[in-house]
Amino acid sequence: MIRVRDLETSIAFYQAALGLEIKEQFIFDEFTLTYLGNQTTDFELELTYNHDTDNDYSHGSGYGHIAVSVEDIEESFHGLTLLDMKPTNIKHLNHKNTHLASFFFIQDPDGYKIEFLQRSKRYR
């Protein structure tokens, strides 16, 4: 679950960046819960929108990031670049002379980081 300041902007971002669509949405008097997912996996992202909050949220020192695996890291990087989502450079991580991961990051409209990992043995 992540808290978002502008629900429509966040939904549009996650649709474009990750191909996620609204699975369910519950609108309460004070807040809205929106669940995003796709047909490929059971992964769900819950967006919480508090109706009376106009200020940005602080991520604090305990926040990590969301990570997703993709079939083709170069294709994903190129597509997000075309959408002007400003991905970081693709990096390659080795451990004991063995390739472990290829990855890059983008940020959502609220500053949450999303890591894109090339699918491999460890990252599915």
What single letter denotes the amino acid at residue 51?
H
Burial of 34 (0-12, 13-18, 19+ CB in 10 A): buried
The answer to whether 115 is a known catalytic residue is: yes
From 8, 21, 30, 115, active-site residue: 115
* Residue of 69, 63, 57 whose CA lies nearest to 115: 69
Which residues form the catalytic set?
115
